Amino acid sequence: MFDIDKPLVGKEEIDALIECVNDGSIAQGKLVHKFEEEFAKYCGIKYSCAAMNGTSALHLALLAVGIKPGDEVLVPSLTFVASVSPISYCGATPVFVDCDPVTWCMDAHDLEKKITPKSKAVIPVHLYGNACRMDAITAAAKKHGLKIVEDCAEAHGTTYKNKQVGVFSDVCFFSFYKNKHMMTGEGGMCLTNDRRLIEKIGLLRSHGKEKSENLSDEDFAQKQFISSEIGYNYRMTDLQAAVGLAQLKKVETFITRRIGYARLYGELFKGTNLTLPGFDKDVRHTFWGFPVLLASDEAKVRAVIEFRKRGMRLRSFFNPCHMQPFYKKYKSTCPVSEDVSRRGVLLPNIHSMKEEDIRTIAKWLKELL
């Protein structure tokens, strides 16, 4: 009945795509460059490098900050597995950190406890559009000399202490998957204020090759295909960037709608036994979904089954990554993440929905409580 992942695409996106195709501007080109500039401006960060999706952007970011086999990288257990797998691509070890019982984002106390001499970086994930408590996380990272790579995949426009998330780290990344606050179908981007990091990310994104405009005439003649290191093909296309540029113009409208729907869910659930999302006063939560906890595991299972019968996929919270079959071997303890994940559902809160959809979903859930 409800398509919980449906993007909102208008004439602007369609016209931009047609122009792109007519222009022959289909692979990475001038529109990717423009999208990088415009999105960096929106975030208030100097440099940016687009990638084919958020996962590849995180992989590039970790390589750029120097993550190597044998290093440990701290990451919350309660996140989508794509926050973790790039650590494994680098041959490093993920160390799972529990979540805060109120915000459901990384718990800074548990982070401190799990830092070891092998720790090299931390990935705070701004889960479901909430913001991590970056003061405490940055202080811990600074004390122990860790790099910070912020996962902003679900947090476009989220602010912490009046600053957009993404500015609290060495490098951050966003996802533009179709169900995000703004989308390019698939897509991602790294952003940083460090020029050397972005140059490294740019090099790795495209086979480790120097940009041809950086080569002297002589080098251009002889070294166009020299790769200074092993890189990847993680490029975004102009087709994606064309959509991204059109979406960027509307992103604040989309976010305002999501925040409004979240407020409505909150009002409709007053007086129920649901645990509603907790966030600090100095956070602008942009609600990539409306996360709630039911009273018990059984109540959640019942709700998912009932919604399914009514033709709607009710999303669970992410399964804690330390319990994924391939990460169980690290024997991590994250009891809060386990409890929250067992009881949590993410109600749909996408800007393509109508207010009546929110009211219907809230009514269905209330009937089950």
Ligand X SMILES: Cc1ncc(COP(=O)(O)O)c(C=O)c1O
| Comparison of 188 and 202: residue with beta carbon closer to ligand X | 188
Residue 306 Cβ vs ligand X, minimum distance, rounded to whole Å: 26
Rounded to the nearest 10°, the torsion over CA 234, 240, 241, 246 is: -150
| Comparison of 59 and 257: residue with beta carbon closer to ligand X | 59
d(CA 295, CA 274): 7
Site membership for ligand X, residue 54 (CB under 6 A): yes
Q: What is the DSSP letter of 99?
A: B
| Comparison of 98 and 210: residue with beta carbon closer to ligand X | 98
Site membership for ligand X, residue 39 (CB under 6 A): no
Which ranges of the chain does DSSP label H, i.e. alpha helix?
Answer: 11-23, 30-43, 54-64, 85-89, 108-114, 134-143, 195-205, 217-222, 238-248, 251-268, 297-309, 335-343, 355-368
| Comparison of 39 and 80: residue with beta carbon closer to ligand X | 80
d(CA 17, CA 230): 32
Closest CA relative to residue 57, chosen from 176, 241, 188, 149:
188
| Comparison of 83 and 237: residue with beta carbon closer to ligand X | 83
Site membership for ligand X, residue 151 (CB under 6 A): yes
- The piece of 149-157, 227-235, 261-269, 358-366 that touches ligand X (CB under 6 A) is 149-157
Site membership for ligand X, residue 53 (CB under 6 A): yes
* Interacting positions 64-103 with ligand X (CB under 6 A): 79-80, 82-83
Site membership for ligand X, residue 128 (CB under 6 A): no
* Interacting positions 9-38 with ligand X (CB under 6 A): none
Would you call 128 helix, strand, or coil by DSSP?
helix
d(CA 231, CA 103): 37
- The piece of 70-78, 150-158, 225-233, 271-279 that touches ligand X (CB under 6 A) is 150-158
Which residue lies nearest ligand X, judged by its C-beta? 54
Q: Which of 150, 154, 170, 238 binds ligand X (CB under 6 A)?
A: 154
Q: Which of 2, 39, 47, 177 binds ligand X (CB under 6 A)?
A: 177
Q: Are 173 and 191 in contact (CB under 8 A)?
A: yes
Site membership for ligand X, residue 286 (CB under 6 A): no
| Comparison of 40 and 58: residue with beta carbon closer to ligand X | 58
Residue 55 Cβ vs ligand X, minimum distance, rounded to whole Å: 3
| Comparison of 100 and 151: residue with beta carbon closer to ligand X | 151
Would you call 315 helix, strand, or coil by DSSP?
strand
- The piece of 26-34, 47-55, 129-137, 159-167 that touches ligand X (CB under 6 A) is 47-55
Q: Which of 7, 188, 244, 348 binds ligand X (CB under 6 A)?
A: 188
CB atoms near residue 66 (< 10 Å): 13
Gyration radius of the chain over CA positions: 21
**What is the largest distance, in Å, between two alpha-carbon atoms of the chain?**
73
φ/ψ of residue 311, rounded to 5: 85, 20
| Comparison of 79 and 169: residue with beta carbon closer to ligand X | 79
For residue 227, what are the contacts with CB-CB under 8 A and spacing of at least 6? 207, 208, 209
Rounded to the nearest 10°, the torsion over CA 323, 324, 329, 330 is: -60
d(CA 257, CA 249): 15
Total binding residues toward ligand X, as defined by CB under 6 A? 14
| Comparison of 87 and 242: residue with beta carbon closer to ligand X | 87
Residue 156 Cβ vs ligand X, minimum distance, rounded to whole Å: 12
Site membership for ligand X, residue 55 (CB under 6 A): yes
Residue 305 Cβ vs ligand X, minimum distance, rounded to whole Å: 25
Name the site residues for ligand X (rule: CB under 6 A).
53-55, 79-80, 82-83, 125, 151, 153-154, 175, 177, 188
